[in-house]
């Protein structure tokens, strides 16, 4: 796939929204502050009942901002409405509580103009709390499909940009895997076309109590469903399938509470059995292979506290 872009391609940012009045202004402002044009902002609101609509109305002075508000069936439907209305050559889907960093659009556009064969680009990410304070960052490795399937790396939605022509070929977000719809979308792109991780931070991801990903088990089962479909399709090599099967169990391991250490250990051992050589990768949680590590750690922690040792803070 080689698709030439004009020098300054139109970038379409799709923002699904519902009752994110505490954060959505910061999201929109991070777009309007970019040192790049042209762009458009498409906000698909699910009939918010908080201050969101008043905030959206306050952007009547910004022709780049368009918004709609109506009841819907959730974020998947909202994203698909936005995809249908986008007019740009480069698209992105941004959460209504995350923000772009300065220079993100110009960096992405310049790269995609120069590299006609790249369908999706993403970058490193910072983490912020509900007060917009930076609490961490993630510097990701270069994109590797096997590592993505094996959950050794990921594509942060707030940093991802993709070509409109590719999106039109693969369709929209799928409701049947709604709790991992973004990961499923990236997967459908990167198994057909090329993806690149840029060596720069592009956005900030916000952690706060209202997030949808508190439904941990549903995310793991959605991941399992989409990966099983991919394995059945038969387009993966034997080695890649091993990573894919490992990733299913690492997803369940990751989203199972630490207190349920028996199930966590079960999924971790199944992950190791699915792809034994991957245990050598530093990203594989080898320490957790020690049976009973969590309850033992809990006991030792209580003993240390009784002896007067301060708990570790890192």
| Same domain for 188 and 72 | yes
Kindly report the length of the chain: 314
| Same domain for 133 and 96 | yes
Examine the pLDDT at 237 and tell me if it is beyond 50.
Answer: yes
Residue 281, pLDDT score? 95
Residue 313, pLDDT score? 47
Among the listed residues 14, 23, 64, the one whose alpha carbon sits nearest the alpha carbon of residue 42? 14
Q: Domain total for the chain?
A: 2
Binned at pLDDT 50, 70 and 90, residue 242 comes out as very high
Examine the pLDDT at 306 and tell me if it is beyond 70.
Answer: no
In tens, the pLDDT along 111-145 reads 999 999 999 999 999 999 999 999 999 999 999 99
| Same domain for 266 and 164 | no
What is the average per-residue pLDDT within 209-226?
Answer: 78
Given 213, 239, 255, the domain boundary residue is 213
Question: How large a percentage of the chain has pLDDT more than 70?
Answer: 89
* Residue partners of 221: CB distance under 8 A and separation at least 6: 179
Residue 273, pLDDT score? 96
User: What's the whole-number average pLDDT of the chain?
Assistant: 91
Distance CA 195, CA 122 (A): 8
Strand partners, 161: 121
* Residue partners of 138: CB distance under 8 A and separation at least 6: 124, 125, 126, 127, 156
Q: Give φ, ψ of 206 to 5 degrees.
A: -100, 130
| Same domain for 77 and 153 | yes
| Same domain for 20 and 94 | yes
Instruction: Determine contact, residues 226/184, Cβ cutoff 8 Å.
Output: yes
Binned at pLDDT 50, 70 and 90, residue 293 comes out as low
Q: What is the DSSP letter of 202?
A: E
* Residue partners of 275: CB distance under 8 A and separation at least 6: 150, 242, 243, 245, 246
Beta strand 194-206 pairing with 118-128? parallel
DSSP E strands, the chain: 11-17, 39-45, 65-69, 90-93, 99-100, 118-128, 134-138, 161-163, 194-206
Instruction: Determine contact, residues 96/16, Cβ cutoff 8 Å.
Output: yes
Domain of 201 in residue numbering reads as 11-213
* Residue partners of 293: CB distance under 8 A and separation at least 6: 261, 287
| Same domain for 245 and 142 | no
In tens, the pLDDT along 149-194 reads 999 999 999 999 999 999 999 999 999 999 999 999 999 999 999 9
Residue 87 lies in a domain: yes
Q: Is residue 86 within a helix (H) or strand (E), and if so which, with residue range? A: none
Residue 241 lies in a domain: yes
The answer to which of 5-9, 38-42, 90-94 has the lowest mean pLDDT is 5-9
Among the listed residues 58, 84, 53, 80, the one whose alpha carbon sits nearest the alpha carbon of residue 69? 53
| Same domain for 91 and 76 | yes
Distance CA 25, CA 303 (A): 48
Examine the pLDDT at 300 and tell me if it is beyond 90.
Answer: no
Look-up of token digits 């990751």: 254
| Same domain for 192 and 116 | yes
Residue 32 lies in a domain: yes
């Amino acid at each position: 796939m080689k698709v030439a872009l004009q020098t300054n391609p139109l970038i379409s940012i799709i923002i699904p929204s519902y009752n994110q009045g505490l954060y959505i202004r910061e999201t929109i402002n991070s777009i309007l502050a970019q040192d790049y044009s042209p762009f458009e902002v498409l906000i698909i609101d699910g009939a918010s009942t908080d201050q969101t609509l008043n905030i959206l109305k306050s952007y009547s002075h910004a022709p780049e901002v368009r918004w709609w508000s109506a009841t819907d069936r959730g974020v998947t439907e909202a994203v698909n409405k936005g995809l249908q209305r986008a007019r740009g050559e480069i698209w992105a889907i941004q959460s209504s509580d995350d923000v772009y960093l300065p220079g993100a659009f110009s960096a992405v556009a310049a790269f995609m103009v120069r590299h006609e064969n790249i369908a999706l680009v993403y970058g490193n990410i910072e983490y912020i709390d509900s007060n917009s304070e930076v609490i961490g960052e993630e510097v990701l490795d270069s994109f590797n499909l096997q590592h993505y399937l094996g959950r050794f790396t990921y594509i942060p939605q707030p940093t991802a940009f993709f070509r409109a022509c590719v999106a039109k070929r693969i369709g929209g977000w799928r409701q049947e895997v709604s709790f991992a719809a973004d990961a499923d979308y990236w997967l459908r792109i990167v198994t057909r076309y090329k993806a690149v991780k840029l060596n720069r931070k592009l956005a900030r991801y916000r952690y706060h109590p209202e997030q949808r990903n508190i439904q941990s088990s549903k995310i793991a089962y959605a991941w399992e469903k989409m990966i099983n479909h991919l394995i059945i399709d038969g387009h993966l090599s034997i080695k890649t399938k091993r990573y894919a099967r490992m990733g299913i169990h690492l997803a369940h391991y990751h989203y199972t509470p630490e207190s349920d250490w028996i199930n966590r250990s079960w999924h971790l051992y199944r992950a190791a059995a699915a792809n034994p050589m991957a245990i050598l990768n530093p990203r594989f949680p080898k320490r957790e292979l020690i049976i009973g590590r969590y309850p033992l750690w809990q006991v030792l922690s209580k003993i240390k506290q009784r002896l007067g040792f301060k708990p570790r803070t890192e």
